Structure 1
């Protein structure tokens, strides 16, 4: 399930992933706000708090995520992924070399730091 994270700056999209994540979650929660943010701001700051194993994302959800990532490729400004999964945190740190913006992984205890980082304007 995907849920919005409130109390973030208007230029940041925050999503909390728990349990099973389906294509319907992507289509009804993530994608509309992501498209709106890109249209409104011209760039995307995305905070994902991942409190579910990545194996809980359906194949269709992964495909939808990939297509969306490519659709907005030039608009990624910052991506922060907060998780207790070291492999995901490491991958996020490496991902910064493949997108025009910056990506950074944080552990769950660093959520406040992740919010400060994703909210920065530089």
Structure 2
């Protein structure tokens, strides 16, 4: 399950995972928010927060994630991953070159820095 984070700067989406990601999380929550961002500004700046209780993704969620990444390819401007999961940060950094826009990983204690960076203020 995911939830949208409140208090984000204008033009930044904040998303936090609460346990296991499902296809419905993408189609019912995240994709509509991304569509709105693209319609409003033509850009996607996102902060993705994965805390210790993240339990993975269902196969349908992985497919939605892949489709989301190629959708509006040129709109993706900044992707900030916030987590203390070393495996997730390592994988993110390894494939950052293949992601649209800029991508950067942060630790949970650096969440405020991630939001500032995603907003383009650094």
Whether TM-score is above 0.5 comes out as: yes
The whole-number CA distance in structure 1 between the counterparts of 2:8 and 2:86 is 25
- Residue number in structure 1 paired with 2:66: 66
Superposition deviation, residue 10 in structure 1: 2.1
The whole-number CA distance in structure 1 between the counterparts of 2:94 and 2:47 is 16
- Residue number in structure 1 paired with 2:83: 83
The whole-number CA distance in structure 2 between the counterparts of 1:117 and 1:34 is 18
Superposition deviation, residue 121 in structure 1: 5.1
Superposition deviation, residue 94 in structure 1: 3.4
Q: How does 1:1-122 map to 2 (within 5 A)?
A: 1-51=1-51, 52-53=53-54, 56-120=56-120
SS at match of 1:120: coil
**Gapped runs of 5+ residues in structure 1?**
none
Superposition deviation, residue 16 in structure 1: 0.5
Cα RMSD after superposing both structures: 1.6
Query: What is the TM-score of this pair, normalised by structure 1?
Result: 0.90
Superposition deviation, residue 87 in structure 1: 2.0
Residues 88, 105 of structure 1: 8 Å contact kept: no
The whole-number CA distance in structure 1 between the counterparts of 2:110 and 2:121 is 19
Superposition deviation, residue 44 in structure 1: 0.6
SS at match of 1:66: helix
